[in-house]
Amino acid sequence: MSVTLSEKAAGEVKKIITEQNMPEGMVLRIGVQGGGCSGFSYSLNFDTQTSERDRVQEVHGVKLAVDKKFDPYLDGTVVDFFDGLEKRGFVFNNPNVVKSCGCGSSFQV
């Protein structure tokens, strides 16, 4: 699969699913959307369905779905979770990025 989760990120996803009483079989959908100051930004959403266009796998107990059309943008990406004093959130470690913005929310491949 083109994308994976660190153990820390998977733990945070499971915590969110539990805290928000989401239904059984919830999938973390990872994708890319146009926008941001560098051209693309990442998207993270919860979904209850997958399709034949998705690459689906379970990583550290979390079911991931990534549309195959995002492979060129996300291949080799590891989603991690950062919890520091100045910020807290999911971080995308993407080896395909050639340029990113100062805020770290958008990128260019």
Over the stretch 19-61, which tens digit does the pLDDT of each residue have? Answer: 999 998 899 999 998 876 667 888 999 999 999 999 999 999 9
| Number of domains present in the structure of the chain | 1
Give 91's contacts (C-beta < 8 A, 6+ positions apart). 79, 80, 81, 82, 104
The pTM for the full model equals 0.84
Kindly report the CATH number assigned to the domain that includes residue 85. Answer: 2.60.300.12
Domain containing 34 equals 3-108
